[in-house]
Chain A
Amino acid sequence: MKKNIVLEAHSIFKSFYNPVRVDILKDVSFSLNRGEFTSIVGRSGSGKSTLLYILSTMDTDFTGELIVDGSSVHTKTEKELAAIRNEKIGFVFQFHYLLNEFSALKNVMLPGFKLNKVSQEELEHNAYAFLKDLGIEKLANTMAYKLSGGEKQRVAIARAMINDPLIIMCDEPTGNLDSKNADIVFNIFKELTQTYNKTLLMVTHDLDFAEKTDRIIELDDGKIVRI
């Protein structure tokens, strides 16, 4: 059972000093198992986004321990953390954040460039396959800025998938989409956990969506109130 834990957080505290001390997270501890679809919910300002950025290893300014795939992030250098993000964590953001200078296909391939484990041809083939799964293979060579919001978000999901990560983290992935596109994106996530057996962690304020996930972690004022 221990083997299936991909991410562990032990009593994470985080404060901002701006200019007085504000505690954002207080003693947050939980663990995520492989294949789980977990959502983090909470009111605005409850610290759920902050928690996600800590879990994503981008924010290392906290106390407590975070263990990703068996190793603590506090012992890693910036370069090693970047490598962890590249290989083990996929991201989907609220604002789609594609690189406008590249085509949809190149955007999907970017994390693969960094990982550099497969040849460019193979990478391109994989990226195309993901786009096809998401139903936007026709847009592969369209420049990113020409895509609609829903299309961008699907490209972003394909990008998160390209390096076959352990865990995919999403920050309000449906927050900026109309309900039709939001449903499409949510169903894709559901499918990812079922078909690809991916671990998903989603921050959302949409309780309807959260109810449909396997597990809900609720934050209130920096503390976990439901797990």
Chain B
Amino acid sequence: MKYKYLIEIAGALMLARWKQTLVAAIGVTFSIALFVALLGFMEGLNNLLDGIVLNRTPHIRLYNDIKPSQQQPIDLSEKYKNYHNYISSIKPANTRIEIYNAQQIINKLKKDDRVEGVAAKITTQVFYNFGNIDLNGIINGIEVNQESALFAFSDYVMEGNYQDLEKVPNSIILGYSAAEIINAKIGDLITVTSTEGEQFYLKVVGFFQSGLVEIDKVQSFTSLQTTRKLLGVNSNFISDIQIKLKNLNEAPALANEYETFFNVNAEDIQTANAQFETGSSVRSIISYAVGITLLIVSGFGIYNILNMLIYEKMDTIAILKATGFAGSDVKNIFITISLSIGIAGALGGLSFGFLLSLGIDSIPFNTPSLPKVNTYPIDYGIQYYTIAVVFAMATTFLAGWMPAKKASKVDPVIIIRGK
């Protein structure tokens, strides 16, 4: 039997009950629209929250850990070689936090094609002096342009130009909360005391706001050279190498590899921020569950309406069978009806869901901790639209299949004699 005729019969049956058909299609439209908008919104929010931490965190960080040596002098002694020894409360020796041959490591990493970029960094403790009060602080010496390109540094500089860090000697970008406490404005000179006890004057060229107040209270940024001056070290000194990978998931394996290869400590992002992954995936699961429930509910709607249609159209089914339509033809007709409802509903739902997303995207959303965000975040990923369509097709097919099977089993003799 030609598909054209099947569609014609299905179309006529739908037209005869166009109101119910429309209601069923609207049900699908509604659930798909909500599915798409809900997931887009939830994932947008997830990406935003993850971004607060994950975007600024290097995928692998190379550094020298302050740890007591694994090998103590007694291990070297010939005499006690075969003895067990216990040493309690071992203290680390004066470990250098500098990474040996840092420049060679960086050159080597830059040639590794799994690596997207490398940025050197020096971290040191300071005190911000404010009258008689000393505030605890951490100064990060960074390669300004690399840091901005790889870890979105510039996104979090609220006022001032981040490139002034390189241009203006002895300049600093202060954490927003720290600046509020010490009442600093752009162009002011502030005093910081290094851990060595020396005082420096640094010029404020901007403010930094990460979104996490605890960080903004202590963190500040200077150029690598300025930090080296603070520490009084030579111009090769680097304490951290931050690596951004092309594939985030390779981080744990590569961290191990670099650790042995370069003989430094390496920490990967998964170890450092395990809880963020968990939070995002749980939120995703919840929104998928809600979305899929919506689709299933609309599937029940179609099921009900098709069941009603079949009871109303018993005569039609009987006559089709009497004139030579097989059970499978009748089944195909009703599945066609169901799928048409599904396809029409899905198309409507996708466009409506997209509009809904656009709507949410334009609702103002201002929060002091997220300076770059002005409206609610939406993820317009094609995958949500695809999942919605695939799932809608599957539900409508199933919802149509059961009544269609029932219709295919209608015994025409009973209907025709029953009159």
Q: Closest approach, in angstroms, between the C-beta of A95 and any C-beta of chain B?
A: 5
- CB pair B315 A79 closer than 8 Å: no
Say whether A44 faces chain B, with CB atoms less than 8 Å apart: no
- CB pair A58 B324 closer than 8 Å: no
Say whether B89 faces chain A, with CB atoms less than 8 Å apart: no
Say whether B16 faces chain A, with CB atoms less than 8 Å apart: yes
Say whether B22 faces chain A, with CB atoms less than 8 Å apart: no
Residues of A near B15 (CB, < 8 A) are: 101
Known contacts A49-B417, A95-B419; is-contact A56 B329 (Cβ 8 Å): no
Q: Closest approach, in angstroms, between the C-beta of B338 and any C-beta of chain A?
A: 17
A159, B324: Cα distance in complex, Å: 12
**CB neighbors of B among A55-113 (8 A):** 56, 58-59, 78-79, 82-87, 89, 91, 93-95, 97-102, 106, 110-111, 113
Which residue of A has the minimal Cβ distance to B1?
A114
Residues of B near A85 (CB, < 8 A) are: 322-324
- CB pair A82 B327 closer than 8 Å: yes
Main secondary structure of the interface of B (DSSP, over half): helix
Residues of A near B316 (CB, < 8 A) are: 99-101
Say whether A115 faces chain B, with CB atoms less than 8 Å apart: yes
- CB pair A53 B413 closer than 8 Å: yes
Residues of B near A110 (CB, < 8 A) are: 9, 320, 323
Which residue of A has the minimal Cβ distance to B409?
A78
Residues of B near A106 (CB, < 8 A) are: 12
With an 8 Å Cβ cutoff, the count of chain A residues facing the other chain is 34
Say whether A141 faces chain B, with CB atoms less than 8 Å apart: no
- CB pair B5 A53 closer than 8 Å: no
Residues of B near A31 (CB, < 8 A) are: none
Per-residue interface assignment for chain B, residues 336 to 372, with 1 indicating a CB less than 8 Å from any chain A CB and 0 otherwise: 0000000000000000000000000000000000000
- CB pair B323 A159 closer than 8 Å: yes
- CB pair A58 B412 closer than 8 Å: yes
Say whether B328 faces chain A, with CB atoms less than 8 Å apart: yes
Residues of A near B167 (CB, < 8 A) are: none
- CB pair B419 A78 closer than 8 Å: no
- CB pair B12 A102 closer than 8 Å: yes
Q: Closest approach, in angstroms, between the C-beta of B336 and any C-beta of chain A?
A: 14
A102, B315: Cα distance in complex, Å: 14
The answer, among B5, B13, B319, B326, for a CB contact under 8 Å with A83, is: B326
Q: Closest approach, in angstroms, between the C-beta of B25 and any C-beta of chain A?
A: 19
A89, B315: Cα distance in complex, Å: 19
Considering residues A87, A89, A102, A159, which has the most beta carbons from chain B within 10 angstroms of its beta carbon? Answer: A102
Known contacts A99-B316, A101-B16, A113-B1; is-contact A82 B419 (Cβ 8 Å): no
**CB neighbors of A among B58-73 (8 A):** none
A84, B323: Cα distance in complex, Å: 10
Residues of A near B329 (CB, < 8 A) are: 82, 114
Residues of A near B212 (CB, < 8 A) are: none
Which residue of A has the minimal Cβ distance to B323?
A111
- CB pair B325 A86 closer than 8 Å: yes
- CB pair B13 A94 closer than 8 Å: no
Which residue of B has the minimal Cβ distance to A115?
B324
- Which residues on A are within 8 Å of B, measured CB to CB? 49, 53, 56, 58-59, 78-79, 82-87, 89, 91, 93-95, 97-102, 106, 110-111, 113-116, 159, 163, 171
Given contacts A78-B327, A110-B320, 9 further A-B contacts (CB under 8 A): A58-B321, A79-B326, A83-B326, A85-B322, A86-B325, A97-B322, A99-B316, A101-B15, A114-B329
- Which residues on B are within 8 Å of A, measured CB to CB? 1-2, 5, 8-9, 12-13, 15-16, 315-316, 318-329, 411-413, 416-417, 419
CB-CB nearest 8 A-B residue pairs: A86-B324, A82-B326, A113-B5, A101-B12, A85-B324, A111-B323, A101-B16, A79-B326
